Amino acid sequence: MSSLSTDTAAPAPAEGSAPGIGQRFAPALMAGPATVLFAVLVLTPLLLTFLLSFNEYEHATGRTHGFTLSHYAEVLTDGYYLEIFLRTFRVAALATAICAVIGVPEALILSRMRNPWRSVFLLVVLTPLLVSVVVRAFGWSMLLGPDGVVNMILQAVGIGRTRLLYSEGTVVVALVHVMLPFMVIPVWTSLQKLDPAVEQAALSFGASRTTTMLRVIAPQILPGILSGSLIVFGLSASAFAIPGLLGGRRLKMVATVVYDQYLGELNWPLGAAIAVILLVANLIVMLTYHHVVDGHYRKRMG
Amino acid sequence: MSFLTLRNVTKRYGSFEAVGNVTLSVEKGEFVSLLGPSGCGKTTTLQMIAGFVDVTSGTIELDGRDITRTKPNSRGLGIVFQSYALFPHMTVADNVSFGLEMKRVPKAERAALVEEALALVHLDKYAGRYPRELSGGQRQRVALARAIVIRPPVLLLDEPLSNLDAKLREAMQFELRDIQRKVGTTTIMVTHDQAEAFSISDRVVVMEAGRITQIDQPYRIYEHPETEFISRFVGKTNMLPGTVSAVGNGRATVSLAGMAAGMPADVPADGLSMGETVVLCIRPEKLRLAPAGQGRLQGRVTDRFFLGSQWLYHLDGPLGPLMAVATNDGEAPLDPGAPVGVDWPAAVVRVHRGAMPAAPELESLE
Ligand SMILES: Nc1ncnc2c1ncn2[C@@H]1O[C@H](COP(=O)(O)OP(=O)(O)O)[C@@H](O)[C@H]1O
Ligand SMILES: [Mg+2]
């Protein structure tokens, strides 16, 4: 019906040109404000950081404006930085995997709840987002500290005081806590889009609950798991507050090293180079992952 | 001995009774339709047979076995959903194969059965496609192939054709019936479309507000509707209010409101008593148009509609508006405003007890 009316309106010569131009540029105009905001707030600092990473640096004189690739060479050849990068991606990958293992069933359970409870629990899932990351990190450090609740319990049951803080495990646990909503929400959204009859169809053919889950539901929510994983991984790999507060001085991750270079060593160009490498490495990991998983999915679902 | 039996099956949501006291026996190989307006409980009934909705009270028996509390995945029924519910991430062949796989049919045998089922619905060329690459009619046939390939004891169809356009729907009606005859599966179909129910069913179950009001062959339901609701729901009908003015010899005479006493209607008595208020129902195609001055009553054409093989006339007369259908025999039709006589054989009149229903109700029906 609607296509019919536009078809008949189109040949009218008087109207043909003026709204045509308006319509052609309307999407661009509407996207304008967001584009400007993105350019000013994201691209400009990124570009400046990128340029900064090629500046020379002397301990005595600080930053100069000469051009050098030495910072990149230093980061890429020094085992110290390599270890930090590996740790960062290991922690991020672990946090992503755990988020998927916890978040997917959580979203499934959430999607099966009836309404008063569904809303309540959805809110519970989202609450971590309402509390500052710093506050949550402090919360964890109080829980896991030498005199924290966990250690008190460990002592009480006779295991004895254990050093929990400043370990990779603690950083992973805290990251999972912070990132979980970013996994649950996309998975939940893709579950909402499923036709409940498809699940019933699988059951009617004699499939067990588990088979239905694995063969019918899981493949359909794969895009949700994929986007959740990308968000969690990206945010975890560049996380600063959690590793900064729970990893301590020794357990460095890339973002904390960048911070150290900027504010500790005052070697801004080196910090910038590390930041750029993190960005590129992050992009490569995410694009590869996306390519592998989504390619597999696209082949089937289009 | 009936194959599938529903006994006093009731479903309540809180205090709302979606399905009440449904009792139904279906023979092996029979094609039965549940027909009724939207919201009358057809889907709920079907879903109780499928096992997706719990029965509040009553029992469901399949082949002598009580399946009232059996889980849906152990009932082994074939179901075609209104939305088709194909597995979007599987090819047509994989969709059809799924049920066989769950039954642990060996792989080689599976491939042969899938091929056979797809050939039956004329989709053998599409085995490698994904559902999104198919048209609505093709998806519908995949859903059908998927359901019949497992040789279910009972096939359940929930408005299987309602998502198709009119032309395709008609073609699929006959194809569906054809396939069902070939396979011989006992079939229960839910529909709100009386033409669909009538053209392909052995028996039609008319439902109204959660209850069964009539179970009969399509022709009997059309010609002998047991309630005036059914006579309005299945096809068009003229309703004439009247009062029983005489009873005797197994016949009753009904005086029609607004009509001269000289032309009363003569109907079977059927337990009618003197002075009772009744409604006479006459289908439009049963009215005969006669030259002005002849027939039981005189009227005037107010409007006419060309239906291809027939003309539908709207008439006005002493009994109020009437609808009449005349075969398009190639002669010039009557013009609006033309006077016309109306006649009908006594046998075509159906009598229903009670007063006329409120007029707007007609519009709300499908
Ligand atoms: N889960 C439910 N909760 C409450 N009421 C329901 C539920 N499912 C169906 N109903 C009600 O039961 C009645 C019958 O529904 P349904 O069987 O779907 O009708 P039909 O298929 O004949 O259109 C409707 O009035 C509907 O609102
Ligand atoms: Mg329905």
Domain span at residue A20 reads 2-52
Distances (CA, A) of B341 to A70, A168, B20: 107, 97, 46
What pLDDT does B243 receive? Answer: 84
Residue of A190, A199, A205, A217 best to disrupt the B interface, most CBs of B under 10 A: A205
Strands B339-343 and B350-353: unpaired
Distance CA A264, CA A285 (A): 29
A196 and A96, same structural domain? yes
Choice from B44, B194, B233 to test ligand 1 binding pocket (greatest atom count within 8 A of CB): B44
| pTM score, whole prediction | 0.78
Contacts 24+ apart (CB under 8 A), A133-140: A133/A178, A133/A241, A133/A242, A134/A241, A134/A245, A136/A174, A136/A177, A136/A178, A137/A174, A137/A241, A137/A242, A137/A244, A137/A245, A137/A246, A138/A245, A140/A170, A140/A173, A140/A174, A140/A177, A140/A246
Distance CA B136, CA B171 (A): 13
Find the residues whose C-beta lies inside 6 A of ligand 1. Answer: B 13, 18, 36, 38-44
Please report, for chain B, the start and end positions of each structural domain, with discontinuous segments joined by +.
4-229, 238-363
Architecture of the structural domain at B4-229: 3-Layer(aba) Sandwich (3.40)
Distances (CA, A) of A258 to A85, A179, B205: 12, 22, 75
Establish if B50 touches chain A: CB-CB under 8 angstroms: yes
Q: Is the pLDDT of residue B214 over 60?
A: yes
What mean pLDDT do residues A237-263 have?
86
CATH at A280: 1.10.3720.10
- Percent of chain B predicted with pLDDT > 90: 51
Residue of B67, B71, B73 best to disrupt the A interface, most CBs of A under 10 A: B73
A295 or B236, greater pLDDT: B236
In a domain, A60, yes or no: no
Query: Which residue type sits at B352?
Result: H
- In our burial notation (b when 16+ CB lie closer than 10 A, e otherwise), range A224-250 reads bbbbbbbbbbbbbbbbebbbbbbbbee
Residue B229, Ramachandran bin (φ over 0: left; ψ between -120 and 50: alpha; else beta):
alpha
> Could you identify the residue written with the tokens 């408005």?
B159
**Residues B187-204: pLDDT tens digits?**
999 998 888 899 899 999
B343 or B269, greater pLDDT: B343
A41 and A141, same structural domain? no
Query: Which residue type sits at A190?
Result: S
A122 and A36, same structural domain? no
Q: Is the pLDDT of residue A299 over 90?
A: no
> Given an 8 Å threshold on Cβ–Cβ distance, is B86 in contact with A300?
no
Q: Is the pLDDT of residue B260 over 70?
A: no
Nearest CA owner, ligand 1 atom 16: B41
Architecture of the structural domain at B238-363: Beta Barrel (2.40)
In a domain, A61, yes or no: no
What mean pLDDT do residues B28-47 have?
94
What pLDDT does A156 receive? Answer: 86
Distance CA B309, CA B312 (A): 10
Count how many domains chain A has.
2
B-chain residue closest to A196, CA distance: B85
B-chain residue closest to A219, CA distance: B89
> Could you identify the residue written with the tokens 């107010």?
B302
**Residues B278-322: pLDDT tens digits?**
888 888 888 888 888 888 888 899 988 888 888 999 998 888 888
**Residues A192-216: pLDDT tens digits?**
999 999 999 999 999 999 999 999 9
The pLDDT-based confidence of A148 (bands split at 50, 70, 90) is: confident
Establish if A206 touches chain B: CB-CB under 8 angstroms: yes
The pLDDT-based confidence of B365 (bands split at 50, 70, 90) is: very low
**Residues B76-113: pLDDT tens digits?**
999 999 999 999 999 999 999 999 999 999 999 999 99
A143 and A38, same structural domain? no
What pLDDT does A14 receive? Answer: 43
